[in-house]
Amino acid sequence: MLNNQTFLITGIADENSLAMKVAEKVLENNGNVVCTGLGITPFHKNVSEKAKDFLNKNYDDFQNACQKVLGKDVYTAPLDVTLSESLHFLSEDLKQKDIQLNGFLHAIAMDKTIRNKSVKPMLEVTPEEFNETMNVSAFSMISICQALLSNGVLQNGSSIVSLSYIAAEKVSFFPYINISIAKAALERLTLEMAYELGKKFGIRANAIRFSPYMGSKAGNATLNIEDVERANRISPLGNALPEDLAHEVIHLFRKETRITGEIRHVDGGFHIMG
């Protein structure tokens, strides 16, 4: 289904990441993946020892997970979407290796207002916290597009998929506030890219809202088991599984589809429940 096609998969933190399940499914469908994780790059300057230790551990976990699940030959690279040099270094490396991308998964998010499942009220969020979350979780989709297109790495007719959730649209019982606003921006940017990139390059762009999921590092940092159980109880089909998400991403990655500008729901019907 994805023969001779290669996709950039961002946002893998460990083997339980939703992005990892998508990468697995790409390989199962005879495609190839390029995987990126947060880690130290040559462009990080004046980084504290604490931050350096965090970034090194994060990247080691990412690499080990990719090799365990996807195989030792998988392309892995550090990427910090807040550094234009890091983005262009990756793009140039892909170009030099003659790796052409047929799309990418945007699964990157960060919000420092969430600490140990405690969430700051919006009235207490600083401009720096808001802007950093917006840059990493939303604008980074534009940054990735710019870098890949500037080197001719992202091919005409490619497909972009971004990951979101219902809190981008409405206030929910999940402990999300600041990052929900960034996800709303990500969805809006996805629609703009569907129009701009579709007109110019035939590139498709869609977003998927997924069920609450605690299997990943991100889910464990932000959710409580009560949140997941309540959503599972309310949803007509129960919570969707990572496998369900991966199937939908593969469908949107397929060249045969003319689907773009969609906000898809893979959530067992949770979004219809008021």
For residue 180, what are its two tokens? 């929900």
pTM (predicted TM-score): 0.95
Per the document, the length of the chain is 274
Residues in the chain with pLDDT < 70?
Answer: 116-117, 173-175, 216-221
8 A C-beta contact, residue 145 and residue 85: no
Element housing 115 (H / E): strand 114-115
Question: What local confidence, expressed as pLDDT, does residue 47 receive?
Answer: 83
155: three-class secondary structure by DSSP: strand
Distances (CA, A) of 7 to 19, 29, 111, 242: 12, 12, 26, 18
The CA distance from 125 to 112, in Å, is 10
183: three-class secondary structure by DSSP: helix
Count of other CB atoms within 10 angstroms of residue 148: 25
Question: What local confidence, expressed as pLDDT, does residue 164 receive?
Answer: 96
Class of 6-272 per CATH? Answer: alpha beta
8 A C-beta contact, residue 13 and residue 108: no
Question: What local confidence, expressed as pLDDT, does residue 217 receive?
Answer: 67
DSSP letters, 222-255, are H--HHHHHHHHHHSTT----HHHHHHHHHHHH-T
Pairing of strands 263-266, 204-210: parallel
The CA distance from 202 to 71, in Å, is 32
Distances (CA, A) of 267 to 28, 129, 263: 23, 29, 12
8 A C-beta contact, residue 52 and residue 40: yes
Question: What local confidence, expressed as pLDDT, does residue 46 receive?
Answer: 83
Q: Where are the domains of the chain?
A: 6-272
Question: What local confidence, expressed as pLDDT, does residue 42 receive?
Answer: 86
The CA distance from 246 to 240, in Å, is 11
